[in-house]
Structure 1
Amino acid sequence: MKIAVLLTCYNRKDKTLACLKSLSKNSSSVIVYITDDASTDGTSLAIRQYYSEEQVHIIKGTGNLFWSRGMYTAWKEALKGDFDYYLWLNDDVVLYDNFFEELLYCSNLYENNCIVTGLIEDKEHSTILYGGTSLKTHKMVQPNSEPEKVHHMNGNVVLVPCSVVKKIGIIDPYYHHDLGDVDYGLRAIENGIPVIATRVPVAYGYPNNICRVRKWGVNLRERFHRLNMPLGSPLRINYYFRKKHYGFMKAVMFCSYLTLLNLLPDWAVVKIWGTTYQNK
């Protein structure tokens, strides 16, 4: 069984090394492809101190790839090999000892014709942070006795069999940072490939409570500048995503909503939506 592990990283050396350590501790036969998107904290040098070029392939990024395009870059390089599975990892997760057995168990239930997204909990083991939203409830999937089908997938720990790649390809490089994982899951579902969550958490990670759609306490110009940055929620990306999966009218409506949300001053947003759009 040949497995390519895909990561992208930028300036969080300690977390990246902790992730790779948890991976190598539990799965020594994998080959890692990691896009270092022009880190300035010595991430690549630190990786090379512990792992050979055969174990970890480091692809140099431009500094402007962010998550989706960084993962696309790593995956494109991995396609040169002949792999049975592609495993996505966020570089800030720490994998549990059972992670690969659980991912494979769930994949085998669907004869490896599915995508498996791993449940990620917080470090205190008290809250499920990522995995995906339930197809039934549209709320975050919780631990279950059986794998549950997912609607919107999170890309923190994801197992993709090569059979799926042959059908739908890899991540769409149009996405810059956000929505590349959600889009890939929806593409699979639209092509008759289920996306399922693991029964139990396979790693711990860290919450991301940054509000992407609106920056607080700045003027109108700065709000729209932040909105359309890669780490924001760019209108053109949102339009592309929603038109692709939900149609032209829903794409226009959502982008109009984002525009209105950023046109309104802070006090008006609070009056209408309370603290919904402030960072938690």
Structure 2
Amino acid sequence: MLYIVIPVFNRLSYTRACLDALRAQTEQGFQTIVVDDGSTDGTAEALAADYPEVIVLPGTGSLFWTAGVNLGLRYALDQGASWLMTMNNDVVAYPDFVEKMMQAAHSRPPALYGAFELDARTQEPVYAGGWLNWRTGSFRRLLDDVPLEQRHGQYSTECLPGRGLLIPRVVFERIGLFAAELLPHYYADYDFTHQARLAGFEVYLNFDACLGTYPDESGDQHNRQQRTLRNYYQHLFSIRGGANLRDFTWFARRNCPPRDLPLCLLTGYSRRLVGYFLK
């Protein structure tokens, strides 16, 4: 059975939209788990009253993304889940999303699958996976490689985010859960998919399975909207900072080929130190 794990902290309106979209799926053979990490906006009460089918696991208030996801994954694995999916609450699954994901999952040996992300407001393509260039610190996007008319089916990729990431149980049995102690918030999903590839699993972007996302709603994007020295510091050193230098260092050390690591760190630090002011 498939278990979908959604960590949340406040933003109840997004959680409602996410859960309502899951209720409308053409394929209903799944169980939803929400890890509520100490929300203060009435999330717990709303889930209990309006979404009785959802399993709610309370957090400590300091789990952040990775530990929150791991809490839900442990529960699902203990229940015998054969497939697991991580999902953020600020996404809206298209009605056939789960159906298309499971069709792909049963089409080949166990592999990981990511979602084709579209802007929920404009329906413009946002993200579809891609490939890292360790030496330059750049990212080659599948969206740039695959023409519009060919965006269907599954394409091999290297790293995927945790928004709608489908994972077979055997992956956790081989490599364990997400690296919460090293990567508490950002990079943990990219790290996990790359570690899975190193362990011999294929990783695919599924163009047939679409999610609506809100690109401007991440914590780091809010941090960029007002560029101050304080926000710059948060960008580089906060757990929720998208360019967190500590987390990037751990991600690179765990995944970069050793021969490329010095240049990867040099270019990576440079991009993060100056990128805040350029984007």
Question: TM-score, length-normalised on structure 2?
Answer: 0.82
In the superposition, relative to structure 1, how do residues 86 and 279 fare at CA in structure 2: closer, same or farther (>3 Å)? Answer: farther
- Partners of 1:123 and 1:205 within 8 A in 2: yes
2:191 to 155, 160, 183: 183
Question: Is the aligned partner of 1:19 residue 2:18?
Answer: yes
2:215 to 180, 183, 207: 207
- Distance between the aligned counterparts of 1:22 and 1:278, measured in 2? 37
Give 1:254 deviation, angstroms: 4.8
* Per-residue Cα deviation, 1:63-102 (whole angstroms, up to 9, x for no partner): 2222222112221222211111102111111111111221
Question: Is the aligned partner of 1:144 residue 2:144?
Answer: no
SS at the partner of 1:186?
A: helix
Q: Show the counterpart of 1:62.
A: 60
Q: Alignment length, in residue pairs?
A: 264
Q: Equivalences for 1:216-227 in 2 at 5 Å?
A: 217-219=227-229, 223-227=232-236
* Per-residue Cα deviation, 1:38-68 (whole angstroms, up to 9, x for no partner): 111111111111222xx32222222222222
Segments of structure 2 that go 5 or more residues without pairing to the other structure are 134-138
- Distance between the aligned counterparts of 1:262 and 1:104, measured in 2? 37
Q: Show the counterpart of 1:156.
A: 163
- Partners of 1:214 and 1:227 within 8 A in 2: no
In the superposition, relative to structure 1, how do residues 259 and 102 fare at CA in structure 2: closer, same or farther (>3 Å)? Answer: closer
Give 1:225 deviation, angstroms: 4.6
SS at the partner of 2:210?
A: strand
1:170 to 163, 168, 177: 177
Which has the higher relative contact order, 1 or 2, with Cα contacts under 8 A spaced 6 or more apart? 2
Higher helix residue share: 2
In the superposition, relative to structure 1, how do residues 51 and 261 fare at CA in structure 2: closer, same or farther (>3 Å)? Answer: closer
Question: Is the aligned partner of 1:121 residue 2:129?
Answer: no
SS at the partner of 2:190?
A: helix
Among all aligned residue pairs of Structure 1 and Structure 2, give the percentage whose two residues are the same amino acid: 23
* Per-residue Cα deviation, 1:143-181 (whole angstroms, up to 9, x for no partner): 623310111212111111122222222211121111111
In the superposition, relative to structure 1, how do residues 262 and 202 fare at CA in structure 2: closer, same or farther (>3 Å)? Answer: closer
- Distance between the aligned counterparts of 1:153 and 1:70, measured in 2? 18
Q: Show the counterpart of 1:194.
A: 202
1:242 to 252, 263, 272: 252
- Partners of 2:37 and 2:68 within 8 A in 1: yes
Give 1:115 deviation, angstroms: 0.3
- Distance between the aligned counterparts of 1:163 and 1:48, measured in 2? 32
Q: Show the counterpart of 1:104.
A: 102
SS at the partner of 1:22?
A: helix
Question: Is the aligned partner of 1:32 residue 2:32?
Answer: yes
- Distance between the aligned counterparts of 1:148 and 1:49, measured in 2? 41
In the superposition, relative to structure 1, how do residues 150 and 236 fare at CA in structure 2: closer, same or farther (>3 Å)? Answer: same
In the superposition, relative to structure 1, how do residues 241 and 215 fare at CA in structure 2: closer, same or farther (>3 Å)? Answer: farther
SS at the partner of 1:119?
A: strand
- Distance between the aligned counterparts of 1:241 and 1:117, measured in 2? 20
- Partners of 1:242 and 1:250 within 8 A in 2: no
Question: Which letter does structure 1 place at the counterpart of 2:168?
Answer: P
- Distance between the aligned counterparts of 1:8 and 1:150, measured in 2? 25
Question: Is the aligned partner of 1:229 residue 2:238?
Answer: yes
Segments of structure 1 that go 5 or more residues without pairing to the other structure are 264-268, 270-275
**Structure (1 or 2) with the larger CA radius of gyration:** 1
Identify which range, 230-239 or 81-90, moves more after superposition.
230-239
Question: Which letter does structure 2 place at the counterpart of 1:164?
Answer: V
- Partners of 1:8 and 1:37 within 8 A in 2: yes
- Partners of 1:134 and 1:152 within 8 A in 2: yes
- Partners of 2:100 and 2:209 within 8 A in 1: no
- Partners of 1:211 and 1:277 within 8 A in 2: no
